[in-house]
Structure 1
């Protein structure tokens, strides 16, 4: 499966929110859970509880204004991800990491540990690209954001390397 793994295979249009409204970590997690719950066949409340439990182990916020709250939950049929953009940003992790503007939520079945980690690694590799992060934050529509990710990820997969410039990104 290496070389063919794509984060976008687990990201549907319904899983994209261009303008998150949450004001704090709890609200962000609840909003992400709401984006994934129906596709994950789990209630938003249960999913938020699992995501928050994972955050208690250590913030999933990284440098560059990105956080990737994730968890594994029994009964989830396949990996589900979502993307939420927050224009003002939210304090989500350590204060020295600044405000988070790009949130990627992910939930997986318990028996997919290797795939779960591989998808997380792919998300991290793509979002290390500052030009991509800037382009995502200015995407004019859900379709445009998803198309941008598809394009950049296709380049990444075909080159087997870090994301490279694709259509101005």
Structure 2
């Protein structure tokens, strides 16, 4: 089974963009600066970003900068990689793994998924995906329907990683 990166990228963008359906995008606020990288890392570390398009599906941004992802649409596939934050920009690099004959197929993402973070003069943090021009107010995880504390898909990811040997 060939795993397509688009499922994970679309899922990540959809969950983090549309997780809070009551919000709307705005143009880039004035008088902003890049959010401190440690602030961004602290916000995302130890959280799952849930993808509505996969039900269940999402990416976990864990300790040691490891990222692990799963999508029910590609239920025998798993993605493992790293996440990083530099100058307020969070990026996720995943390698997708799937059963291929008697072995395991793999393919790294062609493109990095990145989210820029800025802080306005009032201290409000905003984020934008891959420089698309729309900016969204950052919500606390507890208020974001597309996010959860902890590794929500741990059992599925652990099973698949063991099965595929990754």
Scaled by the length of structure 1, what TM-score is found? 0.28
Name the structure with the higher strand share.
2
Name the structure with the higher helix share.
1
Scaled by the length of structure 2, what TM-score is found? 0.28
Larger Rg belongs to: 2
